[in-house]
Amino acid sequence: MSGIVIVGAGQAGFQLCASLRQAGFTGALTIVGEEPALPYSRPPLSKAYLAGEAARDALALRPVAFYAEHDVTALTSERVTSIDRAERLVRLQSGGIIAYDHLVLATGARNRPLLVPGANLPGVLQLRTIADADALMAEMGRARSVAIVGAGFIGLEFAAVCAAMGISVTVLEGAGRVLSRSVSAPMAAAIEVAHVSAGVIFVYDAVVSAVTGAARADGVATSDGRRFPADLVLVGIGVLPNGELATDAGLAVSSGIDVDAFLATSDPSISAIGDCVNVPSPFADGARVRIESVQNAVDGARCLAARLTGKPAPYAAVPWFWSDQGPLKLQIAGLGTPHNLAVVRGEPASGAFSTFCYRGGRLVGVESLNRAADHMIARRLLQSGASLAPEQAADPAFNLKALAL
């Protein structure tokens, strides 16, 4: 019995180990990760860890002892370079070979590179790993100004940490507002206001054409001829799924590794979970989605562990996400973008409100800013499919909690 082999020692891979053992799986279990660290939590990298408020040890998802106690062989600094589906084995860059009965791809995603002149200069950084965060922190210690390319979650979280440290921050965004692919216009507006009041400068419709500087970056240029000086440049323009292993092995891969509703790839002996998968979702009317969140990594792993231990069920957990940006606690339930109606509940000017997003007359997502109770209710509403009319959502006197019970 060769057991289960997991490629990728991140959030999803770790959770699968834990859930398999919890579900009573007694076979051999091996997790292979290319990073030097055992599985750790990435969210603090752009929040408490970056701000110097969380120690490195606190990032570990479990202490080292967990792996021995649960009879998990955890290999670090080992990259899987190919899959031999006929022989059911994976090859490691170090020359090793590991046989599997079932293979799980939990390879995550990597940062999308900025493809402009100067993007490889020292002083241009991205953020995905502990190593990236450590490099950024070293640079932040001496930077007086930063230019951030991309007003997505990573860019905005980084902006909040820098602004709180007194570093001057300019965010250059190609779209016309922050978080254009992730939240509704009213929510984006409120988030922008909060960052601006902390001193952050936004430049929209900005097409970054170059990173300037000779020996190291000293700013960013845009295609309309403007230049934004900066001691440090952070690129936060999204991620690319790590699907190459799957592609090379002849598995179906589109925008991520294609899996069915049970998280199986086009080879029944290989499954995939986490940021790397492209999965049909009941929350997107059955369309395939690739979700980058802790919830998706954790719930996908739990769903797969259940199938591999004899309790198959389709993956149908409500998607949810959070982002902390200084004093802003944003929580999102469901897949609310795109939507054709966004209804505000509460008062945006107060800094605490929710936006209820409708598509085709149906509630599909709820964004809550500093309103955790709304978020918890929204998750229950979306899971149960209870109907909530837009007028009810907007009415502060309407008892949402009662509907969600």
Given the rule CB under 6 A, which residues bind ligand FAD?
7-13, 32-35, 42-43, 45-46, 79-80, 106-109, 127-128, 154, 242, 245, 274-275, 292-295, 297, 321-323
Q: Which residues of 92-119 are buried (b: 16+ CB within 10 A; e: fewer)?
A: beeeeebbbebbbbbbbbebeebebebb
- Three-state SS for 2? coil
**Please, what is the minimum distance in Å from the beta carbon of residue 105 to ligand FAD?**
8
The residue among 123 and 243 lying less far from ligand FAD, judged by its C-beta, is 243
The residue among 15 and 184 lying less far from ligand FAD, judged by its C-beta, is 15
The residue among 143 and 273 lying less far from ligand FAD, judged by its C-beta, is 273
**Please, what is the minimum distance in Å from the beta carbon of residue 371 to ligand FAD?**
17
The residue among 218 and 299 lying less far from ligand FAD, judged by its C-beta, is 299
**Please, what is the minimum distance in Å from the beta carbon of residue 312 to ligand FAD?**
21
Beta-strand ranges (E) seen in 145-286 are 145-149, 168-172, 201-203, 208-212, 219-222, 227-229, 232-235, 239-241, 253-254, 256-258, 270-272, 277-280
Q: Which tokens hold the place of 236?
A: 């936060």
**Please, what is the minimum distance in Å from the beta carbon of residue 365 to ligand FAD?**
15
**Please, what is the minimum distance in Å from the beta carbon of residue 129 to ligand FAD?**
7
Spatial contact of 311 and 343, defined as CB atoms under 8 Å apart: no
**Please, what is the minimum distance in Å from the beta carbon of residue 210 to ligand FAD?**
25
Q: Which residue is nearest to ligand FAD (CB)?
A: 10
**Separation between Cα atoms, residue 102 and residue 3, nearest integer Å:** 7
The residue among 213 and 319 lying less far from ligand FAD, judged by its C-beta, is 319
Q: Cβ of 297: how many Cβ atoms within 10 Å?
A: 26
Q: Are strands 4-7 and 102-105 parallel, antiparallel or unpaired?
A: parallel
The residue among 212 and 242 lying less far from ligand FAD, judged by its C-beta, is 242
Spatial contact of 204 and 169, defined as CB atoms under 8 Å apart: no
Phi first, then psi: give them for residue 266, nearest 5 degrees: -70, -5
The residue among 213 and 243 lying less far from ligand FAD, judged by its C-beta, is 243
Q: Which residue in this structure is represented by tokens 């509703």?
A: 261
**Please, what is the minimum distance in Å from the beta carbon of residue 75 to ligand FAD?**
9
Q: Is 133 left (phi over 0), alpha (psi -120 to 50) or beta?
A: alpha
The residue among 194 and 388 lying less far from ligand FAD, judged by its C-beta, is 194
**Separation between Cα atoms, residue 22 and residue 128, nearest integer Å:** 29
**Please, what is the minimum distance in Å from the beta carbon of residue 334 to ligand FAD?**
14
The residue among 212 and 296 lying less far from ligand FAD, judged by its C-beta, is 296
**For helices 294-308 and 11-22, what crossing angle results, to 10°?**
40
The amino acid that residue 339 corresponds to is H
Spatial contact of 279 and 301, defined as CB atoms under 8 Å apart: no
The amino acid that residue 314 corresponds to is P
**Please, what is the minimum distance in Å from the beta carbon of residue 259 to ligand FAD?**
13
